[in-house]
Amino acid sequence: MSVPIPRQRTAVLPQEAAPAGDARDGAAAAAGPAAVPADATGLQDTSAAPEAAESTSAAPSEAPAPAARSADTGLTLLLIGEDPTSSVPEMRDGQGRRVRVRTARNLTEAERLLTDDVHCILLDLAPAGARDRTDAPMAQEDGTHDELDALRAVLRLAPSHAVLALTSEADAERAAEAVRVGAQDYLFRDELDGAVLGRAVRYAVERKRADLAQRQLTESRMLAQENRRLERGLLPTPLLDGSDLRFAARYRPGRSRALLGGDFYDTVRTADGTVHAMIGDVCGHGPDEAALGVELRIAWRALTFAGLCGDALLSTLQKVLEHERADDEIFATLCLVDIAPDGRRAGVWLAGHPAPLLVRSGGAPRLLPYEDGGPALGLLPRARWPRRQVALGGAWSLMMYTDGLIEGRVGNGNQRLGQEGMAELVGRRMAAGLRGEELLDAAVTEVRDLNGGELTDDVAVLLLDRGRVAN
C-alpha cells in the first residue's frame, strides 16, 4: 500500500528579525499565522497559500522541493508534539539555507508526513504534569503512560532517521534516558534558540549517518565471518593420513552472490586404506542451500567412517536431504568415488552429477561413463544408484567438479564450454606440465576468461593424483 504524499506543512515561527538580505522572507514569516489558515489538525496548511509557504519553507525563488531534491535544498525537520501550538525558532543549515519544518500531533500524522526528504525528527516529550493523563495520545491500552513510549515508537517508525528529544530542563534525567533509549541527543525547550537547534539538528543527522555506516560495517564483518564458517563447513581439510595420493581443490563463488552457494566436497581415508572422495551441489544459491550442503557433507563423512558406502550411503543422504530441505523441490547432485587401498581401481557412483575426468599415464583425458548413473538426491523416493568399476592403473589423475566449471560460455555466443571442452582444456594444461593446484588454478582461470568474466555459478574442483602422469 503506497503512502500518500502529504501537503507541505510548517510550524508557527516566532516573529523575529530576519537575517540581513532576507527582510522579505522575515516579513512573510511574521505574517504567516494570520495569512495561512489552520486545518483540522491545528497545523498550518501551506497549500492554501502558496506565497506564504514559499516564504516560510524555502527561498523566494524556489518552489517547494520534492524528496529527490532534498540534498540540494537543505534539511527538513519533522516536529512531533501533543501540543498543536508547538513552535520552533527559525533555523539555518551549514550553508545558510532555511531548515524546513513539518509538525505532527501524534504518530499517525507523523507517519503520513515522514517522507524521504525528512532528515531529522524532533520529539517534544510530554511535560511532567501530563505523564499520568490516561487520554494522552501516547497512552497504552491499559491507561498507563510510559514517558518514553513515544520515543520508542518513533524509533521503530523511523529507524534510519536522526531523532532529537525535546523536554524541559527540570526533566534532565529523562532527557539523558532518551539518549540511552536511542535518540541522538536531547534539548531543553527552556533554552531553545535557532542557532542551538540548527546546530543540534546538523550534528544529529551526521551522528545518525555515522551510526548507520558503523552498523553496516559491523554487519559486513559478521557476514564475512559467517561466510568463512560456511566455507570451512563446505570445503574441509581432507583426511588422507597414510595415503600416497596427492590432493588439490579449488572453490570460486559465483559473481551474483555474497554468500557461498551449495557446492561442497570432502575426502577421507578409512582404516582399511580405502580413500573415499565426494563432490556435490545443492540446487539454488544462498545461506539455506549452503547450510544444507554443509549438513550433507558432514553426514557423508560420518556415514563413511561408520562403514556405509555406495547405494546405501546415498539412500541415507537422501533421507537427510528430505528432512532438512526447506522446499520439496530442492535436490542435490553427488559424485562418490572409492579408491582401493592399492590405488589401482575405484568404484564410482553418480547421482545426477557430471562424470569425473580421468587421465591415465601416457593417455589423454577422458570422461568416465555417465550412463550407469542414478537420479539426483531428492527427486525419486526409492531411487537406486549403481556402482561402476573403473581401472585406474599405476599412475593417474582423477578430477571431480561441479557443473559451474562446464556451464560457462565460450566467446560472445550461446555456446557452452561443456564437458568435452573442459577435457580438452585440462589436457592442454597437463601437456604443458601443470599439475595439482597449478593445474586447477590455470583451468579455472581459463574457463573464466572464455566466459568473458566471472562465472555466474559456483565452481568447485577436486583433484586426486597417484604417481606421475606423463603425456
Distance CA 86, CA 428 (A): 80
Contact (CB, 8 A) for 263 and 293:
yes
Helical H segments across 182-325, by residue range: 194-234, 287-305, 310-324
**Maximum average pLDDT range among 105-114, 115-124, 172-181, 295-304:** 295-304
Model confidence at 89, pLDDT cuts 50, 70, 90, reads confident
Within 8 A by CB and 6+ apart from 357, the residues are 365, 366, 367, 368, 398, 399, 401, 419, 422, 423, 426
Q: Which of 69-73, 200-204, 260-264, 273-277 has the lowest mean pLDDT?
A: 69-73
Mean pLDDT of 301-313: 96
Share of the chain above pLDDT 90, in %: 39
Mean pLDDT of 86-98: 76
Model confidence at 99, pLDDT cuts 50, 70, 90, reads confident
Type of residue found at 113: L
Distance CA 129, CA 133 (A): 8
Q: What does pLDDT average to over the chain?
A: 78
Residue 314 CA to chain centroid, in angstroms?
34
Mean pLDDT of 259-268: 83
Contact (CB, 8 A) for 128 and 136:
no
Query: What tens digit of pLDDT does each residue of 24-75 get?
Result: 343 333 333 333 333 333 333 333 333 333 333 333 333 333 333 344 567 8
Model confidence at 130, pLDDT cuts 50, 70, 90, reads low
Rg from Cα positions in the chain: 34
Query: What tens digit of pLDDT does each residue of 317-356 get?
Result: 999 999 999 889 999 999 999 999 999 999 999 999 999 9
Instruction: Judge whether residue 154 has pLDDT over 70.
Output: yes
The sign of the CA dihedral 109, 110, 116, 122 is positive
Model confidence at 203, pLDDT cuts 50, 70, 90, reads confident
From residue 386, alpha-carbon distances to 264, 321, 338 in Å are: 22, 20, 13
0.75 cut: is pTM over it?
no
Contact (CB, 8 A) for 386 and 311:
yes
**Maximum average pLDDT range among 34-43, 208-217, 359-368:** 359-368
Burial group, residue 34, by CB count within 10 angstroms (0-12, 13-18, 19+): exposed
Model confidence at 262, pLDDT cuts 50, 70, 90, reads confident
DSSP state of 453: S
